[in-house]
Each structure stands twice: as C-alpha cells, then as structure tokens.
Amino acid sequence: MTRLFNDPAAFADEALEGFAAAHRRWVRPVTGGVVRAAATPAGQVAVVIGGGSGHYPAFSGLVGRGLAHGAAVGNVFASPSAQQIRSVARAAHGGAGVLLMYGNYAGDVLHFGQAAERLAADGVEARTYAVADDISSAAPDEAAKRRGIAGDLPVFKAAAAAAEQGRSLDEVLRVAERAGARTRSFGIAFSGCTLPGSDHPLFTVPEARMAVGLGIHGEPGIGEEALPTADDAARLLVETLLKELSEDVAAPDGQRAAVVLNGLGSVKYEELFVVYRKVAELLGEAGVEIVDPEVGELVTSFDMAGVSLTLTWLDEGLEELWRAPADTPAHRKGALGAPEPEDDDRAPAEEDRDTAVPPASDASREAAGSVLAALDAVAGIVEAHVEELGRIDAVAGDGDHGIGMRRGSTAARSAAAEARERGAGAGTVLHRAADAWADRAGGTSGALWGTILRSLGTALGDRDAPAAPRVAEGVTEASAAVRRLGGAEVGDKTMVDVLVPFADALTAATAEGVPLAEAWGRAADAAADAAAATARLLPRKGRARPHAEKSLGTPDAGAHSLALITRAVHGALLNHH
C-alpha cells in the first residue's frame, strides 16, 4: 500500500512537484505537467504524451531528448484535463505542430481530443494517437477498443525519434500508427494496488492464484489461474503474444522484435530477470531476434504485484527509431551530444481561461446564488457516498469513480463560489464550475460533467432569470452533448441511461407549466428508477466492458452518482424556492 503521503487529494500534484525538483536537468514544470528543460528546437514536431498519475515512469519520466517533449499529468488514475494538455502542448510547441499521444482510455480520448481542438483554434496544428496494445481487453476484430499499457513505450519512442529526425507532423503520426499496429502486450497480476489514503486494494487475487489479463488501473483480470513458476509465467506471456502476432501481423521468418518486460510495482528486478531469461529463450526458439530489450519498471500501478510483456515487430525503419539515443529521467539509450542549455527564462504556459467576469443582470446574479446552493448540495452528496461509488465502480472497473467525483464536485463548488463573489451571473458561475470540474477530476467523468455544467451555463446565460423551460433546454442540450462526446447511448450502461430519461421527464413537466422545483423532483424520480435499472444491463462502453458479466446485478457507478445528484439538487431547489 501507499504509505508516504499528506493529503491524498494532493498526492498527484505533490509527486509531480517533487519529480520536477529532482530532475531539473531534464524537465521544467508548467501548468498541467512538465516539458523538456530546453525549448523544442524550432521546426521540430513536439511529441506530448500523458495520462494519469500512479504509473511512473509513465508519463513524466519519459520527457527528454529522444523521447517526449512534454507530458500532461492527471490525478491518480485519471486522465489530465483538456486544459492541462493544451497548456503543456503550448509550452512544448516548436512551431511544427504537436502530436498528442496517450493510452486508449475513454477519459484520455475525450480530453486529448478536446485539447487538439483547442490547439487548432489557437493556430497550433495538432494530431492525436491512442496506443491500444493490450490484447486481453478486446478481441482482435475490436482492436480499436483495446486499452494502452506498457506498449506505450515503444510507440512513444518511435514517434519521438522520428520527430528528432525532423520529419513532418503527418509523417510522425504515420510512424506512431505503424509502431502501434505492430505492438502487443499481455499481463498477469498476483495482487491489486492500493491508492493513497485507501486501506484496501482496488482488487484482490486469491492466495496461490494469479489474475490473467490485468489492467494498469486496477481493473480485474479476465480470468484466474493457479500461481505459476517463473518459467510458466514466461511461457504464458510469450505464447499468448506470439499466437496473436503471428495471426494478426504479417512477419517473415527470423522476425526481429523490441521486447519490454514490465514490472507493475511490487515485482522486484531480480524476479523480472528470472522471468526474462525464459522469455529470451522461448523467443529465440520461436525464431525471434530480440533488439535492445527493456526489463524493469516502465509503466507501473502503485504497488500492484504483476508483470506484462510487450512485443513490437520491427521493420528496418522502426528498428532504427527503437535504437535511437534517448536521454530522459527514466529511459536512457545510446549517446547524445552535449545537452542544450536549460531555458529557465521562458515564460510560463498561458492560462486557458479569461479570469475576467462578464457583466450580468441582477436577476442572473440572484440566480447564481441558487446555482451555488445546488453545487454545494452536489459536493455534499458526493462526499456522503464517495466510498459507495468507489465500491460500485470496483466491481468491473478501477474503483476510482468516487474519488474523481469528489475532486470534481469540490473544485466546481469552489470555483463557483469565487465567481459569484466577483459578481458573476448564473451562466458564468456554471461555466467556471464546469472548467474546474473537468480540470480537477480528469478522466471520463470529468470531461462529461464539465460538458453537463457548461451546457447548462450556456443555456442560462448571464442576462435573464432562468425560467423552468430554459433549465430544461439546458439539461436536454447537456444530454445530447454527453452522447456526442462519449459516444454512448441508452442501454450501454453508462450515465446516459439516467441523463436521457431525466432530461425527457424534466422537459415534459416544464412543458405542462409545472414549477421548476416540482418538475425537477419528478425528473429525479425518473433518474432514480433508471439508475436502479442499470443493474440489469451489461456494459458496452468504458473500462467495465471487458468484465461485463461481473457487473450484472450492480448499477453503473456513473448512473448511480447522477441519480444521487439530481435528488440532492432537488433538495436545494426546494430550499431556495
């Protein structure tokens, strides 16, 4: 378990601060993460990677010459927000565009995609690429749904080395795509990981058993087997990967491969070497020539006891990029010339938001008080149920939903209070709350709740008192925006299963002329029924999808939290009626 921390909510920020202080030769801190200590050379594509904290040396430890130009770092097991990613990318930009790279998780896909759109609006050309190497997380015919684990390293390395060669943004993206198409990973675990401040792991493995096909966020494996010997573990890893690669990636006899044997946190280096000796033997027997293997901790999961094996089938071009020199805090290879001078005088990355408060009518400023009361109620109900939400999420996911909702709702309440104190109207208060929720929570729920609050804020505006039909319009737009952004529909076992009927019920009631508090109450009843009904569904989206059967009988965590929130807001509306 994690023993050394202060406030668990501050763990990610404090860890990043300490990392940057310890590695000034390579990196400097910027809002949202770190960038290289020296500026990106003019005309060179900047490769910006990122993901949640808790996986060191991914992602900040891979920033330096020959590898990433910057890393956006989110909260523990939560993607960085679009605001953080944009900030890091702007700081790393050298004038030739930015390639944003990350593991294929819903929250990362949403936030990095939004960041690319914001960068384009800034005049910075940006592309995105999600690594999807974990063969246990989806079948070969659904490879685009696979999550990214330790295969991040060879794919990031290929793209970054191509950027160092001066290739164009589109060429660097094509290299990433080629490396990703040839990279596969598979893992096993013997115990789960424990987040800072928690007294129990996200999942457990029975004594003398191992979980097969684990996820790096504590997602349970897809099955269990008897605890193997080191040689048996190596055989399982190698044979599983070779079977898929031989069927999925055309490779000549005598194939050459980059090999990464990754420790997930508690498996020590000596144990990894014992496993690797057999991995090397088995690959040799299969006619695979190993090129510059990596054995160690490359993508971890706090104190998880487990290992993963990654193979990347190399062609001549990819081998050159894999062998290229690199100098970062956690990954060094070959020899580079003298380091470029650190550039401590560079201006910090520009903040994303305008802090000025737009003018508002008296009616809207009065309504902002009701909005703040509602956000107080949201933060309160989340705090009261944070453990329950984590427990529900851990059934088939990674167990961090409660933590993320606490971070987001608390930040939203604080930002809203500050905005109202400065005389903001209802719309601006909601917009500031939306940005704060997305920034602080990260992950899929952070992006979606930011979208919900922003849609409501846009509908209410800062000029008029928010009438019930206007509120219903905002909720309806929020429902549509969440479906557009996340790609989920009713029946997928997500928050959409609650948001849609809630919006429909609120719209129907307000159309009848029912006052807002009463209409919201009716809609909250519909939300509660819909949330309970998700227990009968199998998930078709998100991290729970590979463990669909495990979630039967348990409601979706996002749906349940939304239903709780609608009820809490109803109470606030009654008190401010």
- The residues carrying an active-site annotation are 217
* Radius of gyration, CA atoms only, the chain: 24
Q: For residues 180 and 173, what is the distance between their CA atoms, to the nearest angstrom? A: 10
Q: For residues 115 and 107, what is the distance between their CA atoms, to the nearest angstrom? A: 12
Q: For residues 90 and 85, what is the distance between their CA atoms, to the nearest angstrom? A: 9
- With 0-12 / 13-18 / 19 or more C-beta atoms within 10 angstroms meaning exposed / middle / buried, residue 512 is exposed
Sign (positive or negative) of CA dihedral 143, 144, 148, 152: positive
Q: For residues 354 and 270, what is the distance between their CA atoms, to the nearest angstrom? A: 52
Tokens 């505006």: give the residue. 461
The answer for residues whose C-beta is within 8 angstroms of residue 263's C-beta and 6 or more apart is: 269, 271, 272, 296, 297, 300, 306, 307
- With 0-12 / 13-18 / 19 or more C-beta atoms within 10 angstroms meaning exposed / middle / buried, residue 514 is middle
Taking CA atoms, 75 is separated from 26, 135, 407, in Å, by 22, 26, 9
CA angle 59, 64, 65 (to 5 degrees): 140
Tokens 């020590």: give the residue. 268
Q: For residues 356 and 344, what is the distance between their CA atoms, to the nearest angstrom? A: 29
Structure tokens of 154?
A: 């060879």
Q: For residues 10 and 379, what is the distance between their CA atoms, to the nearest angstrom? A: 18
Sign (positive or negative) of CA dihedral 526, 532, 538, 542: positive
Q: For residues 124 and 117, what is the distance between their CA atoms, to the nearest angstrom? A: 9
Q: For residues 2 and 56, what is the distance between their CA atoms, to the nearest angstrom? A: 14
